[in-house]
Amino acid sequence: MKISLISAMSENRAIGLNGRLPWPSLPNDWANFFKVTHGCRMIMGRKSYDTPDRLSSEAGNFVITRQEDYAVEEGFTRVGSLAEALDACKNDKEVFVIGGAEIFHQSLPLADSLHLTLVHGVFEGDAFFPEFSEKELTLKSREDFPADAQHAVPYSFLVYEKS
């Protein structure tokens, strides 16, 4: 099983502010997210599950929480740990970890690839993507996009793979 992390982050690594994205909407980022993750199950933490911008996959979704009585909607499965979620996906070709900060921190050492949207600019945040070493992950592709009528800020799609 390939473990991939997917997230958008600003130049100061912010990924969230008060349960929302800290930058204006980027429609191409959403489209890229669904293209890259199509057909794969997703793993997220409870805080990501609780956000108004919650993402999900028709293939299945895992919500990590230590709250044993935490109820999730149809299409989601509550698990107690990242290890439990990964074990449930052991026969999958690829699984995507979609956040938040604590789940990214736990899963980064296990990641085979990172799909990052780098939002150009510094944004206030209360959740941040963890630092990673480019000695362990190599940049395989980069696409840069300028701000335009639908995208208030420039951004780049970056794909890193385990070296």
Give the Å distances, CA to CA, from 137 to 20, 67, 117, 140, 157: 28, 33, 16, 9, 15
pLDDT over 90 (residue 134): no
Split into its structural domains, the chain has a count of: 1
Please confirm whether the linkage preceding 100 is cis (ω < 30° from 0).
yes
Measured between alpha carbons, how far is 56 from 38 in angstroms, rounded to an integer?
A: 10
Give the percent of the chain with pLDDT over 70: 100
Q: Name beta bridge partners: 160.
A: 114, 139
pLDDT over 90 (residue 53): no
In 3-state terms, the chain is what percent helix, strand and coil (to 5)? 20, 35, 45
Q: pLDDT (tens digit, 9 = 90+) per residue, 24-37? A: 999 999 999 999 99
- What's this model's pTM, rounded to 2 decimal places? 0.96
pLDDT of res. 135: 85
Whose structure tokens read 């107690």? 80
- Residues of the domain holding 33: 2-162
Measured between alpha carbons, how far is 50 from 29 in angstroms, rounded to an integer?
A: 21
Here the CATH number for the domain that contains residue 47 is 3.40.430.10
pLDDT over 90 (residue 154): yes
Residue 61: strand, helix, or coil = strand
Give the Å distances, CA to CA, from 145 to 5, 15, 127: 21, 19, 24
Mean of pLDDT values over 131-155: 94
